[in-house]
Amino acid sequence: MEDISYMFKPIVLVTGFGPFLNHPVNASWEAVKLMNKDEIESKHNVELVQLELPVTYENVDEFVPALWETHEPKLVIHVGVSNIAKCMTIEQQAHKKGYQRMDYFDKCPANHVCSAGSALRICTKLDVQDICDKFNDGNPISDTSAELSLDAGRYLCEYIYYTSLSVDNSRTLFVHVPDLNVYSSEQTARALERILDLCWRQIKEMDVVTDKLKTTKLDAKE
């Protein structure tokens, strides 16, 4: 039988949110959809999947686990807008409880608790400090910058982050982007591409370590 495994490229999934409240045009999706799919796929030998998600808890509960199961992504970057962000804001963690803000359909989760996972808090295993430092040191877009955050807002942004972190926190990141009056969609798209590059570098480095550990274990058995 012909080996066709080489035809299947790893998937990088990037999501943005649709309209809500005072954001009839959501800066997150406007930027995500402008990310250069062809360039990213050629550069990293991946398939880039860009998706817009509704700002509802129910849709996150339904779609996000299904996206993980269907695409088996190598990297997931969720993107949302923050009206207090002044730059690219890289979130380090998400919580299971405290979701009291109503979504687009004036609903919130039962008991204000995320339906996924069990831990009270989950942190990403991606090195967010390294991502932030390298973004600010080597970002070719001189008029954008990045900072770290420990508070993702206890709304849909943190809810979707927790949901994906509960599936695999070794390859999940959330980025809050500022509104359109701070960065243009094009600026934010280029900044997201830079963050994707830095995440992908870490993913590949982790793969090298994992492969070495597997080889060591196999050698030990012989």
pLDDT band at 209 (very low <50, low <70, confident <90, very high): confident
Average pLDDT over residues 86-94: 98
pLDDT at 28 over 70: yes
Q: Which has more confidence, 119 or 219?
A: 119
Residue 138 vs residue 68, higher pLDDT:
68
Considering 87, 114, 132, 157, which one is annotated as catalytic?
157
- For the ranges 94-98, 136-140, 155-159, 162-166, the lowest mean pLDDT is seen at 136-140
Q: Is 147 designated active site?
A: no
Mean pLDDT of the chain: 92
- pLDDT at position 106: 95
Active site residue 91: yes
- SS3 of the chain: the string is CCCCHHHCCCEEEEEEECCECCECCCHHHHHHCCCCHHHHHHHHCCEEEEEEECCCHHHHHHHHHHHHHHHCCCEEEEEEEECCCCCEEEECEEECECCCCCCCCCCCCHHHECCCCCCCEEECCCCHHHHHHHHHHHCCCCCCCEEEECCCCCCHHHHHHHHHHHHCCCCEEEEEEECCCCCCHHHHHHHHHHHHHHHHHHHHHHHHHHHHHHHHHHHHHC
Catalytic-role residue among 44, 78, 91, 132: 91
Q: Which domains does the chain have, with CATH numbers?
A: 9-221 (3.40.630.20)
From 78, 95, 176, 199, active-site residue: 176
Apex CA 76: angle with CA 73 and CA 82, to 5°?
160
pLDDT of 213 above 80 = no
Give pLDDT, residue 219.
55
